[in-house]
Amino acid sequence: MESMEVKQPGEKNCRFCNSRLRHIFVSLGDSPLSNKYLSKEQLQGREAFYPLDVYICDDCFLVQLREFEAPADIFGDYPYFSSYSDTWLKHAQDYVEKIVPLLDIDKNSFVIEVASNDGYLLQYFAAKGIPVLGIEPARNVAEIAIKKNIPTETSFFGVELANRLVCESKFADLILGNNVLAHVPDINDFVAGLKIILKPNGVITMEFPHLMNLIEKVQFDTIYHEHFSYFSFLTVKKIFQFHGLTIFDVEELTTHGGSLRIYACHADNRSSKISPRVRELEQREVKAGYTSIGFYLEFKDKVKQAKRDILDFLISAKKENKVIVGYGAPAKGNTLLNYCGIGDDFIDYTVDRSPHKQGRYLPGTHIFIDKPEKIRETKPDYVFILPWNIKDEIIEQMSFIREWGGKFVIPIPKISIA
């Protein structure tokens, strides 16, 4: 294979407050884009690697990556389809069953989902006869939603699209976005767009991984180039407030290793009272150190130790001639494998339920992606779970490995065997 190409950006300021970025939160070395899966032919070509250096703004405390690749290049032909996770589908359905009565959503309401993927969530609103609109920039993914009769705009969301929707009288009673806030390079344009299309008494809900979990559980693998920002509650509240939106409630969820679901409304909307959970979480983050730059600078040493622990296990297992295979081909797994330098010398292959990934190779490490049935055929000693956030679902699906004494390896928050 030809030598890799490492690309460097110019100077960059904080994507929210425009302050100069001076402090490294953690450096995970040079890494390819986590969703750039390779064909066999592409293995012979040049693969682009980018510094995976994460910065912390010492003014607004937004943890962030510099922008290396345009979003259109990252999400133009996207390999992630939400509907391949039973756990995530259940989460989406539960959300709809909760939010509809909570906000009195009915057939006269209008629901917009930003980054609606393959219609995995909006299908549950549509089944109730509630008008919906999905906004999904990845055309190949949006086409799946359209085939499900989910109206979908194939576009990136921001002020420009919001103004066009307003001209078409498409104001939302509910705007939702799951795991999109972190993917937005221009966070100010995105949040400003949310305000534009929100009805006067409308509500926004956004879900995103909580920085507190990333730090406390050493979830370094959730860092990759497609994630531009990593939010504490204090910082996301500041961003929404800057754009005239008030976060009036927050829920702590177990999804993606620990996420927040925020509820926001127009700042001049007095009908939504501020929940005690808002103040409680603010106080907890302040007490933990999320307004002190020194607190963030301690993270890098925890990540180095996690890397050593993972490699210690793999080296010991291979010395005992154990066969190790992977489960899943998630973006987070590619960060972990590339940072730790784990290739097919440790993990023979990985498997994934998505046919869009099967038959291809992981970026950087070039581990082959097979069908899940391959595990039953080869009977490995260990199955290394890369999407550890849905480990319970995977362990249940693959419980048959117990038949030959197989075990599961969960790498995060601390490597463990199940």
Q: What is the pLDDT along the chain (418 residues), one digit of tens a residue?
A: 344 454 445 558 999 999 999 999 999 999 998 888 999 999 998 999 999 999 999 999 999 998 766 655 555 555 455 555 677 889 999 999 999 999 999 999 999 999 998 888 999 999 999 999 999 988 888 888 889 899 999 999 999 999 999 999 999 999 999 989 999 999 999 999 999 999 999 999 999 999 999 999 999 999 998 899 999 999 999 999 999 999 999 999 988 889 999 999 999 998 889 999 999 999 999 999 999 999 999 999 999 999 999 999 999 999 999 999 999 999 999 999 999 999 999 999 999 998 889 999 999 999 999 999 999 999 999 999 999 999 999 999 999 999 999 999 999 999 999 9
Q: What six digits make up the tokens of 284?
A: 């907890």
Q: Are 168 and 212 in contact (CB under 8 A)?
A: no
If asked whether residues 324 and 244 sit together in one domain, one would say: no
Which residue spans within 338-406 are E strands per DSSP? Answer: 350-351, 369-370, 382-385
If asked whether residues 272 and 349 sit together in one domain, one would say: no
pLDDT the model gives residue 7: 46
Look up residue 173 and give its DSSP letter: E
If asked whether residues 157 and 194 sit together in one domain, one would say: yes
Q: Give dist(CA 241, CA 251) in Å, integer.
A: 18
pLDDT the model gives residue 142: 85
In a domain, 74, yes or no: no
Q: Give dist(CA 347, CA 272) in Å, integer.
A: 51
Greatest CA separation for the chain:
66
Domain final residue, candidates 295, 327, 362: 295
In a domain, 303, yes or no: no
Q: Give dist(CA 304, CA 67) in Å, integer.
A: 24
pLDDT the model gives residue 145: 87
Which residue spans within 47-185 are E strands per DSSP? Answer: 48-56, 63-65, 111-114, 132-135, 152-153, 172-178
In a domain, 307, yes or no: no
Look up residue 124 and give its DSSP letter: H
CATH number at residue 372: 3.40.50.720
Q: Are 116 and 155 in contact (CB under 8 A)?
A: no
If asked whether residues 198 and 273 sit together in one domain, one would say: yes
230-241 tens-digit pLDDT: 999 999 999 999
If asked whether residues 290 and 240 sit together in one domain, one would say: yes
Q: Are 329 and 359 in contact (CB under 8 A)?
A: no
Q: How many domains does the chain have?
A: 3
55-94 tens-digit pLDDT: 999 999 999 998 766 655 555 555 455 555 677 889 999 9
If asked whether residues 162 and 269 sit together in one domain, one would say: yes
If asked whether residues 133 and 55 sit together in one domain, one would say: no
- Residue that has been written with the tokens 């930003």 in this structure: 114
Q: Give dist(CA 207, CA 177) in Å, integer.
A: 6
Write the burial class of residue 314 (CB in 10 Å: 0-12 exposed, 13-18 middle, 19+ buried). buried
- CA distance readout (Å), 37 to 246, 357, 361: 40, 7, 6
In a domain, 98, yes or no: yes
If asked whether residues 269 and 407 sit together in one domain, one would say: no
In a domain, 252, yes or no: yes
If asked whether residues 210 and 172 sit together in one domain, one would say: yes
pLDDT the model gives residue 257: 84
This model's pTM is above 0.85:
yes
Residue 247's beta-bridge partner residues?
Answer: 264
In a domain, 245, yes or no: yes
In a domain, 304, yes or no: no
Write the secondary structure of 83-100 as one string of H (helix), E (strand) and C (coil). HHCHHHHHHHHHHHHHHH
pLDDT the model gives residue 272: 84
Q: Give dist(CA 125, CA 349) in Å, integer.
A: 39
In a domain, 338, yes or no: yes
If asked whether residues 275 and 145 sit together in one domain, one would say: yes
Q: Give dist(CA 102, CA 31) in Å, integer.
A: 43
If asked whether residues 328 and 240 sit together in one domain, one would say: no
Structural domain containing residue 16: 5-60
If asked whether residues 199 and 86 sit together in one domain, one would say: yes
- Positive/negative CA dihedral, 327, 333, 339, 343: positive
Query: For 217-372, where are the alpha helices, taking DSSP H only?
Result: 233-242, 276-288, 293-296, 299-319, 331-340
